[in-house]
Amino acid sequence: MVTQPRTAELLWGSPDRPKRGPKPALSLEQIVATAVSMADAEGLATVSMQRLAEDLGFTKMSLYRYTPGKAELTALMLDAALGPAPDLSDLDGGWRAALHEWALRMWAGLRQHPWVVDVAVGPRVMGPNELDWLETGLGTLSDTGLTGGERLDSVVLITGHVRSLAQQATAPGAETDTPEKALHAIMSGILTDHADRYPEAAAAFASAGSSSGQDDALEFGLARIFDGLAALVAERAE
């Protein structure tokens, strides 16, 4: 990643305009915002520099006056789409209620910008908004007596769960149904053909396909994680 310093400067640097030369007709914010709404509407894959430039009424190469490359633009899109973290200070119910709300807000955001999950991958330069989310998540655990590493691992655990489900729920083919039903629809033929070899899977799908509401998998996972965390917090409190 040679682009890291540039990415960091674009995300964190101050936008000091040069003095000579014609005034830019576009702004990086404008480009990023257009790219985000395009990705929201038609998927990240359809956002090419060409299409983005056409949407803005300029040529493709003009965009490279604002961003060194598409990777940097994508990093900016990510932080813009995340937006600032929610304010959880008014919440009652301790860390559990706060973390729950935090997770649900993140879930809602990821549903709105499904492509974010594909972009926010691996150790990378976090933008102000992403770091704000992390900060807020960690803050919910400040009264628990957990160590810094444990708090970090907790937030990572919840993030992973939310992201993993968001990825399933917003993937192509799952727009109409819940991901469980979509998967069940796809696999039902195969499962009935091989029910003898995969009895547990066949039974589980049959049972889950009939009941199971909308966000069951999300709430189920959160409940288990919070129960597990509560046990650790209680242990630390002794």
Partner DNA sequence: TAGGAATTGTGTCTGACGGACACAGTTCAG
Partner DNA sequence: CTGAACTGTGTCCGTCAGACACAATTCCTA
From residue 21 to residue 50, the character string flagging contacts with DNA as x (rule: CB under 7 A) and all else as - is: xxxxxx-------------------xxxxx
Q: Write down the least CB distance from residue 7 to DNA, Å.
A: 12
| 4 is a site residue for DNA (CB under 7 A) | no
From residue 68 to residue 97, the character string flagging contacts with DNA as x (rule: CB under 7 A) and all else as - is: -xxx--------------------------
From residue 169 to residue 208, the character string flagging contacts with a second copy as x (rule: CB under 8 A) and all else as - is: --xxxx----xx-xx--xx-xx--xx--xxxxx-xxxxxx
* C-beta of residue 7 within 8 angstroms of C-beta of residue 72: yes
Q: Contacting a second copy (CB under 8 A), which of 96, 111, 132, 188?
A: 132
Residues 23 and 20: their CA atoms lie apart, in Å, by: 8
Residues 150 and 229: their CA atoms lie apart, in Å, by: 10
Closer by beta carbon to a second copy, 36 or else 165: 165
| 66 is a site residue for a second copy (CB under 8 A) | no
Q: What does 108 interact with, of DNA, a second copy, none (CB < 5 to 8 A by kind)?
A: none
Give the count of beta carbons closer than 10 Å to the beta carbon of residue 162.
23
- Residue ranges in 96-125 that form contacts with a second copy under rule CB under 8 A: 121-125
Residues 220 and 194: their CA atoms lie apart, in Å, by: 28
Sequence letter at residue 146: L
Q: Write down the least CB distance from residue 219 to a second copy, Å.
A: 9
| 129 is a site residue for a second copy (CB under 8 A) | no
For the chain, report the end-to-end CA distance as a whole number of angstroms. 46
What does the block give as tokens for 13? 């640097």
Q: Which of 187, 213, 224 is nearest to 202 (CA)?
A: 187
Q: Contacting a second copy (CB under 8 A), which of 27, 59, 220, 236?
A: 220
CB-neighbour burial class of residue 152 (10 A; exposed 0-12, middle 13-18, buried 19+): middle
16 phi, psi to nearest 5 deg? -85, 120
The site for DNA (CB under 7 A) is made up of 18-26, 46-51, 58-62, 64-66, 69-71
